[in-house]
Structure 1
Amino acid sequence: MTRRTGSADLPLHGGRVPPWLAARMAALGAVICQAIIHHYGRDEFLRRLSHPFWFQSFGAVMGMDWHSSGITTSVIGALKRGLGPLSHELGLHVCGGRGNQSRRTPAELTALGERIGFDGEALTRTSRLVAKVDSAAVQDGFDLYLHGFIVADDGKWTVVQQGMNGERRQARRYHWHSEGLDSFVEEPHAAIDGPEQGEIINLTDRRAAPSRSAQLDLLAGLGPDRIVSELARLEDPPAQGFLPHLIMPAHHDVRAKDVVLRRLHGTLAAAADRGPADFAELLLVPGVGARTVESLAMVAEVVHGAPCRFSDPARFSLAHGGKDRHPYPVPLRVYDETISVLKSAVHKARLGREEELAALKRLDDQARQLETFASGPSFDAHVARERDRSPDYDGRSVFGWEANLRGAKDRSA
């Protein structure tokens, strides 16, 4: 039986992902997916997508706003674009999306079923039931606007969908996973992410089974007048049980309190220690190699890390910054080098040469070993250093190239 794994506050955040970042997110998302499947299998990748903490970290390491609901839309979109050309090779397909795309999910699943051979009609019914449960059976004040259905050739799937509460400027993300799913109406979620709103009506809770049965009895045996009188006699429902809760704050900037500093120091120390040993050729690239190894260490954690490692998604935004300059502009040279190294490692691994992927695994292993005693700069000092070096790394944000912005500021001074 699947279970909820937690919840999180997700503030709504406007704006669009610029094309220069969207293309890179698709490329990096696809190659991370390939690395996970190579090491751990397709089922494990579906399992990761159903984990809300990992999902948020996955979006942050790709340069998306680390705290916001926009990660859901951008990650599903990036995977749909990036995995599309690889669907035959990986046996993995991303259907649905936001708005009109979500409504095309049944047609996409039916077409896939006819082409691949799984029961498309059954999965179409699953898609509709999942949406109905989160829009009707769980009445929490959030209207669904995104539905992503990720399905494998063997029919296993993960669903990520999101609802919006416009009044509160908040979103809630729901995660589903087919593994061990026995019932669509009794505790089917792998996780629910979203802001605490007090008591909600959740008819999928196991404790609501008598309520579901009583509702059917009421509909079958009573008229509208009797139903109204029965409603008047109802007492307030018992409070929901507490779940692990990931709080995504409203502030857009990344602050020291949002990051587990010992983990950051472990990553930086591992990159400095293992980088020269394992990435000698990469480090010959002037001015970018050592910094790229730091990003690769964070990507390696997304590939190999245990669930407990993703309690601070903000830390993963330190790999490639953010499109809105938080914590700093996206270092495009570093980002492109990261994609290049990962693509090379995955390609060689498919040919039986595991050296580069093994080097990434050693980065992650050593980071965990070093974090208990490694020291390093303060969070603010690290961010200040990255911002200072941003023009050297072709730093870019939605506001423009960092070198141009800094030059304009200097000329106006």
Structure 2
Amino acid sequence: MRNVAELPLHGGHVPPWLAERMKKLSSLVLRLLVDEYGTKGLLERLSDPVWFQALNNVIGMDWDSSGSTTVTTGIIKEVLWREEIGVKAAGGKGKRSRKTPEELREIAKLYDLDAKDYIRTSKLVAKIDSVALQSGYKLYHHVFFVDEEGNWAVLQQGMNEVKKVARRYHWFEPDNFTVEPHKAISGFREELALNTVSKESLEYQKTLVDIVLDGSNSIERELKSIKVLSLGYRPLVYYKPRDINEKTLLRRYESLGRLELNRKALEFAREVGVSNYEEFLLIKGLGPSTLRALSLVLELVYDVHPSWKDPVTHRIDPFKFSYAVGGKDRVPFPVERKTYDELISFLERLVEKNPKERVLVRNVTRLTRDWKFPEKDKIPTP
């Protein structure tokens, strides 16, 4: 069963007294999780939007806020660097995301790994969710998790500045970066999304690389012709491979932003001889406007098109976990400090005990698994 989770933009901040408790509780949960499932098991859960949102709710963050990503990952990152449980994190929100390569080098040195591969992966993942997949969301948050065995996961988030809603992209070691690579995407489904990493876009990917290798001059001419055709002008000799309205197609692309070719990037791609779509995406200077322009030419001139289906994953909304200690913004009720401290104390004792004694917790979870929260409590946070 699946569902959609919207993450609207919220203001405000986490008060210091709550932030400290969030760090303590997160530390205990992550320790118990690694003890139970190992570091790879932790990464798998971080890449699951349901589990991640449940953790966010358990520690007292808003159940429906875009801040549930930035605050929760920030807390997790701090805990992972403070604790020695075999996992570290790089990156963060805004300017912090630019430090990802530097921090990945530090992690690689710590775990005796090759930083180059992780830095390349970090850049590629960001390029895919900002260029190869376009649905009106601008990336502003990128966190890269690596464990001591070399496994990795990524959480990044984009914001639709018009609608003031966010979507979260979850990654966990895909077999193929350019064919449906996401573990999941949590957010609001858009009617149209330029999706060039769909399995339906394989012919598109190959053709795009081929025309780029042929040179940018012809692409530029075709783009200018399309813009003229969309205004109603027709040359004496004109052929198009299928029945399509140029103006309608152009508007579809322009709804996502401008159409501008970066000649420098395209010429460099031709000079180095990119051999596949993954290499092409990593070309410096290749941005969303250039890919939109290329895609428009492919659709109208070459009759090769990408997918326009938004790959948002519909997942279960774990709102019931907000009942653990309450919510920062009083939904479903104000955070109760006494209850929060009792929970931390209980888990601290649990961490110290023999793992066999944790059977009690598993029995408790069976009692609450089928519990349904009152729907009237599920209201948007202020």
TM range (shorter): 0.7 to 0.9
Match in the other structure for 1:142: 137
Matched, 1:36 2:33: yes
The Cα shift of 1:213 comes to: 1.2
* TM-aligned CA deviation for residue 377 of structure 1: 9.8
Q: How far apart in 1 are the matches of 2:199 and 2:307? A: 13
3-state SS of paired residue (2:139):
strand
Are 1:240 and 2:309 matched, yes or no?
yes
Q: Residue 102 of structure 1: SS of its match in structure 2? A: helix
| Inter-partner Cα distance in structure 2 for 1:75 and 1:64 | 8
Instruction: Show the counterpart of 1:200.
Output: 193
- Give the corresponding residue for 2:22: 25
Relative distance call for 1:158 and 1:235 in structure 2 (3 A) is closer
Cα separation, 2, equivalents of 1:135 and 1:8: 20
> Which residue in 1 is equivalent to 2:177?
184
Deviations, residues 127-181 of structure 1 (Å, cap 9, x unaligned): 1111111111111111111001111011101100000111111111000001xx2
1:320 counterpart SS class: coil
Q: CA deviation at 1:205?
A: 0.8
* Corresponding position of 2:332: 327
Letter in 1 for 2:325: H
Counterpart selection for 1:63 from 60, 63, 67? 60
Matched AA of 2:210: D
Task: Indicate if the aligned counterparts of 1:6 and 1:191 stay in contact, CA closer than 8 A.
Answer: no
SS for the counterpart of 2:12 is coil
Letter in 2 for 1:206: K
Gap runs ≥5 in structure 1: 247-310, 384-398, 400-413
User: Aligned AA for 1:29?
Assistant: S
- SS of 1:118's equivalent in the other structure is coil
- Partner in structure 2 of residue 387 of structure 1: none
Q: Deviations over 1:77-107 (max 9, x none)?
A: 11112222213xx111021111121111110
CA distance in 2, matches of 1:128, 1:238: 23
Q: What amino acid is aligned across from residue 152 of structure 1 in structure 2?
A: D
Give the direction of change, closer, same or farther, for the CA distance of 1:192–1:176 in structure 2 (3 Å limit): same
Cα distance in 1 for partners of 2:86, 2:312 equals: 34
Structure 1 residue 48: deviation in Å?
A: 0.8
> Structure 1 residues 238 and 163, CA, compared in 2 at 3 Å: closer, same or farther?
closer
CA 1:83/1:205 → structure 2, altered by over 3 Å: closer, same or farther? Answer: same
Contact residue 146 and residue 153 of structure 2 kept, 8 A: yes
Tell me whether 1:226 sits opposite 2:222 in the alignment: yes
Hey, what's the Cα distance between the residues in 1 that align with 2:339 and 2:154? 32
Tell me the secondary structure at the aligned position of residue 183 of structure 2. Answer: strand
Other-structure match for 2:233: none
CA contact (8 A) 1:9 1:196 kept: no
Aligned to 1:50: 47
Cα distance in 2, alignment partners of residues 186 and 363 from structure 1: 41
Q: Which residue of 2 aligns with 1:167?
A: 162
Cα gap change, 1:221/1:228 in structure 2, threshold over 3 Å: closer, same or farther? farther
Q: Which residue of 1 aligns with 2:13?
A: 16
Q: Is the 8 A contact 2:70 2:93 kept in 1?
A: yes
| Counterpart residue identity of residue 358, structure 1 | V
| One-letter amino acid matched to 1:221 | D
The equivalent residue for 1:287 is none
Task: For 1:127 and 1:150, locate their aligned partners in 2 and report how far apart those are by CA, in whole Å.
Answer: 10
Aligned AA (1:366): L
Residue 74 of structure 1 pairs with residue 33 of structure 2: no
Contact 2:59 2:325 in 1 (8 A): yes
Gaps of 5+ in 2: 226-296
Displacement after TM superposition at 1:182 (Å): 2.1
Taking the aligned partners of 1:134 and 1:239, their CA distance within structure 2 comes to 15
CA distance in 1 between counterparts of 2:214 and 2:121 reads 30
Query: How far off its partner does 1:379 sit?
Result: 6.3
Matched, 1:312 2:317: yes
Question: What value does the CA root-mean-square deviation take over the aligned residues?
Answer: 2.5
Question: What is the deviation of 1:241?
Answer: 7.3
| Equivalent position of 1:339 in the other structure | 344
- Provide the residue aligned with 1:365 in structure 2: 366
Name the structure with the higher helix share: 1
1:7–1:192 contact (8 Å) kept in structure 2: no
Give the superposition deviation at 1:367: 3.1
Mapped partners of 1:150, 1:378: distance in 2 = 35
- Could you tell me how far 1:193 is from its partner in structure 2? 1.4
Cα 1:92–1:145, aligned 2, differ >3 Å: closer, same or farther?
same
Give TM-score, length-normalised by structure 1.
Answer: 0.68
The 3-state SS of whatever aligns with 1:192 is strand
Aligned partners of 2:122, 2:27: CA distance in 1, in Å? 24
CA contact (8 A) 1:25 1:78 kept: yes
Change over 3 Å in CA distance of 1:243–1:136 after alignment to 2: closer
TM-score, with normalisation over the residues of structure 2? 0.73
Which range is displaced more, 152-161 or 209-218?
Answer: 209-218
What amino acid is aligned across from residue 360 of structure 2 in structure 1? A
**Paired positions, count:** 302
Does the 8 Å CA contact 2:87/2:146 hold for their aligned counterparts?
Answer: yes
Pairing 1:215–2:196 present: no
Structure 2 CA distance for aligned equivalents of residues 379 and 10 of structure 1: 18
Aligned to 1:354: 356
